[in-house]
Structure 1
Amino acid sequence: MGSALPEPQIRPAIPDDSASLAALSMEVWLGTYIRHGVSAFFADYALDTFTKLMFEAHLADPQERFFVSQNRDGIDGFIRLTKDKPAPGRPDLTVELTTLYIQPRHQGRGLGAALMAHGLARMQAEGAEAVWLAVNSENTAAIAFYHRHGYSHAGQTHFRIADQAYLNEILTRPLG
């Protein structure tokens, strides 16, 4: 008989989490978007984007809010919210849910919902009235997750890597 994992704790991220956040981000991003082999184009993007130094800089930015899900072995998910970042075509929406990543083996346990509830409560306490996010149009599982949690369609935009553009859905949710 296996023992159940203790419930993870949600806490603010600290600079010492930077390497874990980078590794988790690379794992989730590559697993979600790279389905047919890793090309040099996407490898370069991932290696340049998901770095310890990049996360240290994000964590030092006063406009950023990071919360992690910490289990007995380490971080298994995180949420990143960015203040004063208007949605494309919607200057009234200024708080972005920039990232919500859960390690694949920990998905389906309510971690994403718990991290999101925690982060959105913090944004509401700081005076935010709504949040927005952009999600890849082909990521139907994520879109369905956000719809289940009160988000609605607010438009479209493109995520750009170099000269490539990928269609994203803009979703929004009021707070309170």
Structure 2
Amino acid sequence: MIRPANLTDASSLAAVGLEVWLNTYIRNGVNAFFADYALKQFTAARFEEILSLTNQTILVSQNAAGIDGFIHLSLGSPAPVPACSDLEISTLYVQPRHQGGGAGGRLLEAGLQFCASTGRPDVWLAVNAENERATEFYLRKGFSKTGETRFQIGDQSYPNHVLRYDLV
């Protein structure tokens, strides 16, 4: 089931976010640099703050046991490349053991329906250039590469593809 997130989901969103981020990006052992970043980003308080903002929307995928994924949509988020609206898919995370079962596709479909309701002509996202599985997922779903940007953590940066999806 896909539904809008609410404040009582904040700790579950933090836990899913932390699990997916560590599983996706930390493959060779955890060091303090990445642990500090992840533990700062994926907190219940941070998700409570996001959920209280009117320009932020989070939809969750919920199974019988709980939340297994979410999509975070941001209005007023300028794209790092020209020719994109200010509507961003900030995050689409599905627990690793639920990937491949359709939860990501259902979340994306619901997210794109929300995006279409905003009247924006398109939506954009950034995906780690090394995350081929995610990039291929978005390209299969109709996104196109429109540029490059860098994701910054402290003094380190990582190449990201900017993908765009036409809503009209």
TM-score (norm 2): 0.98
Matches within 5 A, 1:13-92: 13-90=5-82, 92=84
Quote the Cα distance in structure 1 between the aligned partners of 2:85 and 2:133.
Answer: 24
Quote the Cα distance in structure 2 between the aligned partners of 1:43 and 1:91.
Answer: 35
Of 123, 128, 135, 1:131 maps to: 123
Quick one: percent identity of the two aligned structures?
Answer: 51
Quote the Cα distance in structure 1 between the aligned partners of 2:153 and 2:118.
Answer: 32
Quote the Cα distance in structure 2 between the aligned partners of 1:156 and 1:78.
Answer: 24
Match of residue 4 from structure 1: none
Code of the aligned partner of 1:78: F
Conserved? CA contact 2:151–2:159, under 8 Å:
yes
TM-score (norm 1): 0.93
Conserved? CA contact 2:85–2:123, under 8 Å:
yes
* Further displaced range: 153-162 or 119-128: 119-128
* 1:114 paired to 2:97: no
Conserved? CA contact 2:144–2:163, under 8 Å:
yes
| Stretches of structure 2 lacking an aligned partner (at least 5 in a row) | none
Quote the Cα distance in structure 1 between the aligned partners of 2:33 and 2:18.
Answer: 14
Question: What is the Cα deviation at residue 126 of structure 1?
Answer: 2.1
Question: What is the Cα deviation at residue 91 of structure 1?
Answer: 6.1
Quote the Cα distance in structure 2 between the aligned partners of 1:87 and 1:126.
Answer: 16
* 1:100 paired to 2:92: yes
Code of the aligned partner of 1:50: F
CA offsets per residue over residues 98-117 of structure 1, 9 Å max, x none? Answer: 00000011111111111111
Code of the aligned partner of 1:30: L
Question: What is the Cα deviation at residue 119 of structure 1?
Answer: 1.1
Q: What SS does structure 2 have at the residue aligned with 1:88? A: coil
Query: How many residues are aligned here?
Result: 168
CA offsets per residue over residues 1-21 of structure 1, 9 Å max, x none? Answer: xxxxxxxx1000000000000
Quote the Cα distance in structure 2 between the aligned partners of 1:168 and 1:42.
Answer: 18
The runs of at least 4 consecutive aligned structure 1 residues that moved more than 4 Å come to none
| Stretches of structure 1 lacking an aligned partner (at least 5 in a row) | 1-8
Quote the Cα distance in structure 2 between the aligned partners of 1:71 and 1:95.
Answer: 28
Return the index of the structure with the highest Cα Rg.
1
Conserved? CA contact 2:79–2:85, under 8 Å:
yes
